[in-house]
C-alpha cells in the first residue's frame, strides 16, 4: 500500500529515531509508536460523544480532513491539527497534546491490535485539520447533541 508507506514516513519523521520507528512498524503493522506531538502536528482530543458527530460535520464540509484516531474503547477521538494549536486552544473539555507531550499512534496502514485505531488515517501529504473549522464543527455537533438531549 504506497499511501501507507508515505504516511509511515511522515509520522515517523517526528520520532527521536525515525528509522527505528519505521523498522518497528515494518515488523509489526498492528503495533503502535509513541510519538512526540508539537513538531509536525498537535492533537485535540475530544470525548467521542462529541468527537464522532464533529467528524461527521467535518466530513460534510471538507474533502479530506486531517488524520483522526479513536482510542481505548472509543472513549476519545483525536484530531491532528497544526503544531502550536494546543498552546493556543482555550476550549473546555478538550484535551490537548502539543509540544512536550507524546501520543500513542497506530500504524497508518495496519490493522489495529488494541486500543488505538484510525478513523481517518494520515495520507502522508501532511494534511491536517484547520483548527477554526474544527471548532465550528464542534459547535455544530454540540448544538445538535443539545437538541437531541432535549427531545427536539
At 7-60, the pLDDT tens digits run 999 999 999 999 999 999 888 888 889 999 999 999 999 999 999 999 999 999
Domain interval for residue 15: 2-150
Q: How many domains does the chain have?
A: 1
Dihedral (Cα; 73, 69, 77, 13), 10-degree rounding: 120
Predicted confidence (pLDDT) at residue 97 exceeds the cutoff of 90: yes
Distances 109 to 28, 55, 132 between C-alpha atoms, Å: 11, 20, 28
**What is the CA angle 108-112-115, rounded to 5?**
115
C-alpha cell at 149: 438531549
Predicted confidence (pLDDT) at residue 80 exceeds the cutoff of 90: yes
pLDDT of amino acid 114:
64
**Worst-scoring range by mean pLDDT, 37-46, 74-83, 114-123, 139-148?**
114-123
C-alpha cell at 62: 471538507
Amino acid at each position: 500500500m504506497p499511501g501507507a508507506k508515505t504516511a509511515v514516513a511522515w509520522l515517523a519523521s517526528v520520532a527521536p529515531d525515525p528509522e527505528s520507528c519505521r523498522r518497528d512498524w515494518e515488523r509489526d503493522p498492528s503495533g503502535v509508536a509513541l510519538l512526540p506531538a508539537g513538531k509536525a502536528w498537535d492533537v485535540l482530543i475530544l470525548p467521542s460523544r462529541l468527537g464522532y458527530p464533529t467528524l461527521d460535520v467535518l466530513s460534510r464540509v471538507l474533502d479530506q480532513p486531517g488524520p483522526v484516531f479513536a482510542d481505548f474503547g472509543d472513549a476519545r477521538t483525536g484530531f491532528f491539527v497544526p503544531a502550536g494549536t494546543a498552546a493556543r486552544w482555550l476550549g473546555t473539555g478538550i484535551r490537548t497534546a502539543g509540544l512536550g507531550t507524546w501520543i500513542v499512534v497506530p500504524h497508518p496502514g495496519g490493522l489495529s491490535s488494541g486500543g488505538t485505531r484510525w478513523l481517518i488515517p494520515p495520507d502522508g501529504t501532511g494534511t491536517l485539520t484547520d483548527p477554526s473549522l474544527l471548532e465550528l464543527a464542534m459547535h455544530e455537533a454540540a448544538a445538535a447533541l443539545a437538541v437531541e438531549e432535549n427531545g427536539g
